[in-house]
């Protein structure tokens, strides 16, 4: 898959004109907006640092993971909860830090190295409109549960999968000790949840924490203060052979990871999904604004 080329002297970090090396790096990505964005961002960033980059985005999650284990993909960004549950069959409840450490240890046995996680956590979440939060004073799931238990009339929207999942709506109510009647829960397609919440048809909606429609529609995510939802921290993962050949890659990717959080990814996703800007332009502009590449 790779033809390793001689390393050129000098380690290039953001803003440096030095070339790190001329090794080929194959960057992978999944087939939805956030993953397409982060794959483009990574490819442009590493290309600017002097790597010979090949991008393979738009892949299915399981196929992408297998390709990395097989050494066909050098680097891609994975979610901690996806590796924990889907690839390592761990179902126990863990904190975000414990989740990261567990997948780091388990995947090391498979030749994969987890670098520093970003603060972007693309997990399930419940959200409300900003004006509703200001009116009710609810900002956490515990406060939401208390409001329901105190008799406040709130309606909810969520997709049918989450409503029925064994780790979904029913266990969430059990964890936070509240109960919502079936008549107050509207089940619909995930995309329609955002519209229903925006249009005031419901007060609370199930969202994905880094979805671009959250800032675009002026929603606010309620804090999961009891850590019910699994952590899905967006993290660069590199094959151990690739990192051995390119040790400077760790610091370079960690510098990019440090710039990402929920609000940042939501805004970037919105530029693509709401404003209809191209993925390449959004990724490029972010890198320029953060001085990781030049205009």
The C-alpha atoms of residue 117 and residue 95 are separated, in whole angstroms, by 14
- What confidence category does residue 12 fall into, taking pLDDT thresholds of 50, 70 and 90? very low
The C-alpha atoms of residue 265 and residue 1 are separated, in whole angstroms, by 31
Q: For the residues 112-137, what does the mean pLDDT come to?
A: 97
Q: What is the pTM of this model?
A: 0.81
**Could you give the angle at the alpha carbon of 141 between the alpha carbons of 138 and 146, nearest 5°?**
70
The C-alpha atoms of residue 222 and residue 197 are separated, in whole angstroms, by 14
Q: For the residues 249-265, what does the mean pLDDT come to?
A: 97
pLDDT digits (tens, 9 = 90+) for 196-241: 999 999 999 999 999 999 999 999 999 999 989 989 999 999 999 9
- Arithmetic mean of pLDDT over the chain: 91
Q: Provide the pLDDT for residue 201.
A: 97
pLDDT digits (tens, 9 = 90+) for 40-65: 999 999 999 999 999 999 999 999 99
Q: Provide the pLDDT for residue 92.
A: 87
- Annotate 97-131 with b (16+ C-beta within 10 A) or e (fewer): eebbebbbebbeeeebbbbbbbbbbbbbbbbbbee
- What confidence category does residue 18 fall into, taking pLDDT thresholds of 50, 70 and 90? very low
- Write the CA distances from 250 to 31, 157, 166, 279, integer angstroms: 25, 41, 38, 25
pLDDT digits (tens, 9 = 90+) for 60-82: 999 999 999 999 999 999 999 99
- What confidence category does residue 165 fall into, taking pLDDT thresholds of 50, 70 and 90? confident
Residue 190 in this model has a pLDDT that exceeds 80: yes
pLDDT digits (tens, 9 = 90+) for 263-287: 999 999 999 999 999 999 999 999 9
Higher pLDDT, 164 or 108: 108
User: Quick one: what percent of the chain has pLDDT higher than 70?
Assistant: 93
Residue 262 in this model has a pLDDT that exceeds 50: yes
Residue 121 in this model has a pLDDT that exceeds 60: yes
Q: Provide the pLDDT for residue 91.
A: 83
Q: Provide the pLDDT for residue 42.
A: 98
Q: Within its chain, how far is the Cα of 26 from the centroid?
A: 20
pLDDT digits (tens, 9 = 90+) for 134-161: 999 999 999 999 999 999 999 999 999 8
What backbone torsions phi and psi does residue 284 show, to the nearest 5 degrees? -60, -45
User: Quick one: what percent of the chain has pLDDT higher than 90?
Assistant: 85
Residue 2 in this model has a pLDDT that exceeds 70: no
């Amino acid at each position: 898959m790779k033809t390793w080329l001689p390393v050129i002297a000098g380690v290039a970090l953001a803003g440096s004109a030095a070339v790190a090396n001329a090794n080929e790096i194959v960057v992978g990505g999944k087939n939805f907006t956030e993953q397409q964005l982060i794959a483009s961002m990574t490819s442009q960033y590493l290309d600017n640092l002097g790597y010979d980059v090949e991008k393979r985005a738009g892949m299915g999650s399981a196929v992408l993971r297998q390709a990395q284990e097989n050494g066909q993909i050098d680097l891609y960004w994975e979610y901690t909860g996806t590796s924990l549950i889907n690839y390592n069959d761990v179902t126990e409840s863990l904190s975000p830090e414990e989740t990261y450490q567990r997948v780091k240890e388990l995947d090391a046995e498979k030749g994969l190295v987890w670098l520093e996680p970003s603060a972007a956590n693309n997990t399930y979440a419940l959200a409300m409109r900003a004006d509703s939060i200001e009116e009710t004073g609810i900002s956490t799931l515990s406060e939401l549960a208390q409001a329901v238990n105190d008799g406040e009339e709130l309606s909810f929207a969520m997709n049918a999968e989450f409503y029925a999942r064994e780790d979904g709506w029913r266990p969430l109510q059990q964890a936070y000790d509240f109960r919502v009647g079936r008549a107050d829960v509207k089940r619909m397609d995930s995309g329609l949840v955002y519209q229903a919440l925006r249009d005031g048809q419901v007060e609370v909606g199930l969202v994905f924490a880094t979805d671009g429609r959250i800032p675009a529609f002026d929603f606010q995510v309620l804090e999961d203060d009891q850590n019910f939802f699994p952590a899905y921290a967006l993290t660069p993962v590199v094959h151990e052979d690739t990192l051995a050949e390119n040790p400077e890659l760790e610091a370079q990717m960690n510098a990019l990871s440090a710039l990402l959080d929920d609000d940042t990814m939501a805004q970037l996703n919105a530029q693509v999904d709401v404003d209809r800007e191209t993925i390449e332009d959004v990724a490029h502009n972010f890198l320029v604004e953060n001085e990781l590449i030049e205009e």
